[in-house]
Amino acid sequence: MSEPARKDVFNLPDEEDDFKMQHAQIAPAEVDDLPSICFFDESMNDPKRKEWLTRCIFEEKCWVLLLDDTIVAYMVFDKSFFEHHLLRWLFVHPDHRRDGIAADLVEHLELLAMDERVFASVPEANTTMRRVLERQGWKISGTLEQVEETGSAIVYYKNM
């Protein structure tokens, strides 16, 4: 018996020059995805973070990116920032970084948000994610001090 198909799956166009990005899909996360996510995101070893992510999955705030039916990245966003969408978390499996996966997820958020403006909060030290957003036309809105254990967070926005 075959597994039931995922709902609301978005197929990404195959990239002929990049074998790794062939057969990519973005879909709402399902509870059964949690073990796969926990396998490559060590922050989920913290029971509170795992509980938070489980809640996000049930509340349909978490999306996964699959390559050939294997989860290689996920993001969490909601409409909690002054009634605008906020990218709260994005994580790509270490073996799949620098393949354009984070950019694909951010672009998908922009499509789903259907909002005048979207926001993201990024730790100041996360230069990779900051570059992803800046390359996609996001602008700095400001800085939040003392919200990260490792320093400040930079708030980005993009007018749609």
Please provide residue 151's backbone torsions phi and psi, each rounded to the nearest 5 degrees: 140, -150
Residue ranges, the chain, pLDDT below 50 = 1-4, 15-20
> pLDDT value at position 4?
46
The per-residue b/e assignment along 10-34, b for 16 or more CB within 10 angstroms, e otherwise, is eebeeeeeeeebeebebbbbeeebb
> pLDDT value at position 115?
67
Residue 130 within any structural domain of the chain: yes
Instruction: Tell me if residue 70 falls in helix, strand or coil.
Output: strand
* Count of the separate structural domains present in the chain: 1
Residue 4 within any structural domain of the chain: no
Residue 3 within any structural domain of the chain: no
Residue 64 within any structural domain of the chain: yes
- Of 66, 59, 1, the C-alpha closest to 31 is 59
> What digits encode the pLDDT tens for the residues 9-33?
555 555 444 444 557 889 999 999 9
Range of the domain at 96: 10-159
pTM: 0.83
In sign, the C-alpha dihedral spanning 36, 39, 40, 45 is: positive
Q: CA 108 to CA 97: how far, in whole Å?
A: 17
Residue 66 within any structural domain of the chain: yes
Domain of 83, CATH number, reads 3.40.630.30
